[in-house]
Chains A and B, each alone.
Chain A
Amino acid sequence: MKRSYPAPRLVLSAESLAGEMRAPRERLLEIGGRFQEPEALAVALSKALDAGAEGVLAAPSPALRAALAELDRTVPLFAVVPALRANEWLDLDPGVDALLARARRRAGPVTRFRMGWTGFWRASAFRRGDFAARMPGVLEGEAAVLPRRGVAGVVLRAALTDLALAGDHRRFFDGYVKFVHARFRASAALETANLGTLLERLVEWGIAPDFVVGPVNPPGLRMKPTLQHTLLQMARCDVPVVAKDLRAGGLVSLEEGARFALANGAYGLAPDLADVDDVTTELRKLRA
């Protein structure tokens, strides 16, 4: 199958800054404090690129955008969308309708026009409440907060991926990949907390996003439905897997987690800021 956009071999994840990573609270607060200033985050991102990372995996939050603006080099961004903090999710009904309404409230006239335009072309399905028809509008809303340069990929947040996965919504995934390619000219990727189940469905449906981001680690922590099933699907499925949660909540070292992931068919690695103490040294080791 022809692949339009290559998956990254190594990206630095900054999901912990949004409280999205399941790490000890103290560690998340420490990371939040350490990278509170955009300059500090900018330095870490720059070091990550120097150490061989191909970009940053993160929601395009104001803090991240400020850090990217500090740099006079382009940092490829694999943007996790929608860009919401963990506690912001609690205020929204699940699905895309609440996200769409939120995006409309925040959007300027151009973005609103674009959101309307995407809905117009899918008017019938949109009116029926179809997730697949409404998602492009959400992505248009998110586009407004993406940096003008350097968007290497759009990664759908696990909360939405897994909801559509539970609904067995083949058309949603198909439409998402096509829309991201056409609109952003960037990788269309999916983040999931149910890697084995998602890969199995993608094979069944014949749908190939550019890559999938999900937990891979030796103890099998958060590898759903089971460790063995996930490893089996990773071996069967052509879609590149970028492994996260490599340290399994601190049970193994980053190197051990990375070795396990790559040995079991992961294409790339996404260590988080919360996983590393010295960005340069630890990312260089992974790159080697």
Chain B
Amino acid sequence: MIETVTAAASAHRDGEGPKPLRPVRVAVAGLGRAGVAHAAVLSTIPGCDVVAVADPRGAARAAVRGMGFRARAFASVRKLLEREKPDAVFVCVAQHERARVAGAALEAGAAVLVERPMARTLEGAAELVRIAAAHQGPLACGHALAFQPVFAGAQRTVSEGVIGAVRQARSSMYLSRFFAPRRGRHRLDPAKVAGGVVAHFSSDLLLLLVRMMGEPREARATWNLLYGRVEDELHAMMTLANGVEVGFDTSWSVPGYPRSSTVIELEGEHGKLLVSDEALEIELEHPRMGLPAGATRVLESQLPQPARFDLGGEALYLQDASFLQWVTGGAQPPNDGATALVAHRVMDALYRSACADGITLRVRE
């Protein structure tokens, strides 16, 4: 990380990015917004062949063909798995279907990247991790924020102990999206989704916090259901095993955030770290691990951005390419199934606490 921070400005931007280590055949299950984005990005990764897509909706299959993608289209994931036998499946079906579809793909011998949240329930997510372990199949969850260069850099900074043990943390993730009652497919039926803003959006931030500081021991949360039957805002305080408190605020109903905005502030024994979508700032009391005393600021635009295709940013490409690298023998990515399950467990604890009027609950029941 120190190398990243100090050499960032001079780093060659065309550095080698992640890629599969051998040709790999992949499929995409579910052709909504996320599925199409994955199909598009995967088709630009060298060595990756998108061989099949699946969606029960004929119109969705036709739309993907209409975009120029020539992969075979199936109405059923089961048939896709039987006939195409892909090396990896990107599961982007509806939340209440994810555990079943991802489980079937793992049992068929494919590696699986399942969109966040992994399943509608914590039990479903845990079962997926169990199936992956039983079949020794790589399982990852779509938490693209962890691959955004500035947040990946911040995570490495903390892991390498640059600011020392964390004493206090605050975090937030905001987006201006819903300002009226949700209608149609945005209605978000609690029987079919894991939750609202946290499940759909800021579980990415939970995964980052878990990567940086480990699993909290306790959590308490309150929420606001402004425009439907799932939360639009959630405010939480989590306590780590060593007693450190971690603040967490999120909303998708706040003005002034046409693009999502994530901020993490950490106070450590040797200094402070602040990371946002725009920059990573480290302030140290004394020179440490190659960084000078005082403030060091690295803009997001200074960091190497090795994705070879940009569809709404670097992160999706880097996530998908890193997963395929793992599948073909490379290093495990930060969004592996076991880590994502911890983030899911934290989310579940926040929801349980909010349901119980904000009482403090243990994260592991």
Contacts and interface: CB of A to CB of B under 8 A. Distances in A.
Interface of A: 18-19, 22, 24-25, 28-29, 85-87, 90-97, 128-134, 159, 162-164, 166-169, 172, 193-194, 197, 219-229, 248-251
Given A162-B311, A251-B302, A87 B14 contact: no
B176 A87 contact: yes
Contacts of A162: 40, 309-311
Per DSSP, are chain B's interface residues mostly helix, strand or loop, or mixed? Answer: loop
Nearest to A245: B301
B79 interface: no
Interface in B35-81: 36-37, 39-41, 43-44, 59, 62-69
Given A227-B14, A249-B299, A250-B301, A222 B310 contact: yes
Interface stretch (B139-147, B231-239, B255-263, B328-336): B255-263
Contacts of B307: 224
A134 to B, nearest CB: 7
Of A29, A131, A229, the most chain B CB neighbours within 10 A belong to A131
Given A86-B259, A167-B43, A225-B309, 13 more contacts: A90-B175, A93-B33, A95-B36, A128-B65, A130-B66, A166-B311, A167-B68, A221-B13, A221-B301, A223-B13, A224-B308, A249-B300, A250-B299
A224 B257 contact: no
Given A25-B259, A197-B309, A224-B307, A169 B68 contact: yes
26 contacts: A25-B256, A90-B175, A90-B177, A92-B33, A95-B67, A96-B66, A129-B62, A131-B66, A131-B67, A133-B66, A134-B66, A159-B311, A159-B312, A162-B40, A162-B311, A166-B67, A167-B67, A167-B68, A167-B69, A168-B68, A219-B13, A222-B305, A222-B310, A224-B310, A250-B301, A251-B299
Contacts of B258: 18-19, 28, 85-87
A169 B64 CA distance: 11
Contacts of B160: none
Nearest to A172: B68
Contacts of B69: 167
A167 B302 CA distance: 30
A14 B39 CA distance: 31
Contacts of B302: 219, 251
A129 B63 CA distance: 5
Of B41, B258, B308, the most chain A CB neighbours within 10 A belong to B258
Interface size bracket, B side? 35 or more
Of B41, B62, B66, B177, the most chain A CB neighbours within 10 A belong to B66
Contacts, number: 127
B62 A128 contact: yes
Contacts of B175: 87, 90
A174 to B, nearest CB: 12
A19 B257 CA distance: 9
Interface of B: 13-14, 32-33, 36-37, 39-41, 43-44, 59, 62-69, 175-177, 186, 256-259, 261, 277-278, 299-302, 305, 307-312
Contacts of B312: 159
B60 to A, nearest CB: 8
B318 to A, nearest CB: 12
Contacts of B62: 128-129
Contacts of B14: 220, 226-229
B186 A91 contact: yes
Contacts of B305: 221-222
A167 B40 contact: yes
A15 B40 CA distance: 24
A94 B37 contact: yes
A17 B200 CA distance: 27
Given A129-B66, A164-B67, A249-B300, A93 B32 contact: yes
Contacts of A224: 307-310
B166 to A, nearest CB: 25
Given A167-B40, A220-B14, A94 B33 contact: yes
A23 to B, nearest CB: 9
A166 B308 CA distance: 12
A166 to B, nearest CB: 4
B177 A87 contact: yes
Nearest to B277: A25
